[in-house]
Amino acid sequence: MSGILPMPGAWDSAWDDPTETAPSSDVPVPPSSEPRPSGSTRQRPSGVPSPSSTSSREVPRQPRAQNPFRKPAREVPPARASSGEEIKRPIVIAVFGQTGTGKTSFIKAVTGMDLEVGHNLASCTDAVLEVPCTINNENVVLVDTPGFSDTRFSDTEILRMIAEWMKDTYDEGFLLSGIIYLHRIIDVRMEGPNLKNLRMMKQLCGADSLQNVVLATTMWEKVTIKEGLRREAELEQTYWKDLIDGGATVARITTQSGNEAQSLVKSLLKNTPTSTRLQEELNSGLSLVQTAAGIEIREEMAKLEQKLKAEHQVEIEELRIAQDNQNARLERQIRNEMAESLRRLERLEDEKRLFAGLEHLSSKKLPKVNRSGLFGWGSYCCRFCGKKTRHVGRWTCGECNKQQRNVW
C-alpha cells in the first residue's frame, strides 16, 4: 500500500459551485442532501427486452492518441518585471474531482477565503476558478476545476473550459506543481460519474505528471474506520492502481481542520512543475477533438447515443403492447417517458454539434490585464469600460461583454 497522508479539510457539495472570493473566518457545514432518484420504476411487460439486450454491437473505439511527449520537461524562463528584475513565479496546484467531492471547500479551508456559491448559470460563466493565496511565503494559485457529468454544463463545455485554462497557463509559462484528485470515501461503489471523472483526469494529465498527483479521499467523518479502510483498499488495488504504480500518492482528508488541509498543499510546494498531457498535445498542434481527452468525450457520446436509441426502441414496443391491451393509463405514462427520451436525444445532438466546434478551439490571444494591489488581494479593471473585478483568469465583463485574462 502506498504511503498515506492524513490531511483533513472542509467540504460540502453545496460549495462545489464557485464564482468570487471574499474573506471569511467561519466555514459552516450544512446537512447533506439526499440523492435524487433516477430512472423509471415502471415494470416492463413480458416479452419486451431490456435496452441492454436489444443490441450486442459494441461502439467502435477510436484509436487513442499516442503521447509522444516525454521528459525532459519544458524549460520555462524566469518571469521578469519591466525593470528587468526577476519575479518569483506562483506555484500552481489544480484540484480535480466529481462535483460534490469538496473541491471548492477544500480550497476554502486552505486559503481561509469564502468562495461564494453561484445560484444561477449567469453567475458562473467561467467555471474554472483560480484562487491566489500565500502559503509558507510562497505565492500559490489553487485552481478549482469543474467536474464532468455536471448538471449545469455538458461534458464538452467543461472540456473546453479546462482546455482553455490549460492553454492559457501553458502559453504564459506556468506548469502544474500539484494535481489533487478528490474522491468521496462515502461512495459505496465506483460507477457512472465517478468512473468518468477518473478517466478524464487520466486523459487530461497523462502519465508524465503522475509524480505530482495526489489521490485524496474526503468525508471520512461520515463512515466507520473499518468501512473507510475497506473502500480505500479497493480504490488502491483496483481503480487507482495504475496511477499509484505511475508515481501518484494517496492521502486521506479526515476532518474539517484548515491547518491540516494546508499541510497537503504544502507537501506539493517543492515539486518540479510539470506540463500535462493535454497542454503538450495542444502545443503540438493537435485540435482539442484529437487529444486523448477529446477522444474520450467522443466515445462517451457514442455510447450514450446507442443507449438512448435502444431505450427508445423498447419504449415504442411497450407503447404498442399498451395500445393492444387498451391500457390508457399505461399508454400516457409511456408517452411521457418517450417525450423525455426524445428530449435527451435532442440535447445529445446539440452537444455533438458543440463538440464538432472544438475542432477549431480558439487560439485567439485574450488581452492580458495586470492586477493593482498585492498578490491574492488585488483587483482588475476592464480594459474596455473600466469595470472593476477581483476575478482571476478568463473573465467576461458584465458591462461591455468583452473578454480578457486577468493574470496572477
What pLDDT, in 10s, does the model give residues 6-43? 443 333 333 333 333 333 333 333 333 344 344 455 55
Grid coordinates of 301: 457520446
The answer to whether residues 180 and 106 touch, using CB atoms and an 8 Å cutoff, is yes
Provide the whole-model pTM. 0.76
The arithmetic mean of pLDDT across residues 239-245, rounded, is 96
Which of residues 394 and 64 earns the better pLDDT score? 394
- pLDDT tens sequence across 41-60: 555 555 555 554 444 334 34
Separation of alpha carbons 39 and 36, rounded Å = 10
Polymer length in residues for the chain = 408
The answer to whether residues 133 and 376 touch, using CB atoms and an 8 Å cutoff, is yes
The arithmetic mean of pLDDT across residues 377-391, rounded, is 86
- pLDDT score, position 49: 53
Tracing cell 486577468 back to the chain, one arrives at: 406
Separation of alpha carbons 279 and 204, rounded Å = 8
pLDDT band (50, 70, 90) for residue 233: very high
Q: Is the pLDDT of residue 87 over 90?
A: no
Which of residues 26 and 103 earns the better pLDDT score? 103
Total H helices, total E strands in the chain: 9, 16
Cα–Cα distances (Å) from 375 to 51, 186, 265, 356, in that order, read: 55, 37, 18, 39
Question: Is residue 130 helix, strand or coil?
Answer: strand
- The beta strand positions in 68-109, using DSSP E, are 79-80, 86-87, 91-97
Separation of alpha carbons 383 and 18, rounded Å = 24
Dmax over Cα atoms in the chain, in whole Å?
Answer: 85
**Region for residue 173 given its phi and psi (left: phi exceeds 0; alpha: psi -120 to 50; beta: otherwise):** left
Hey, what's the torsion of the CAs at 319, 320, 321, 327, to 10 degrees? 60
- pLDDT score, position 71: 42
Which of residues 73 and 194 earns the better pLDDT score? 194
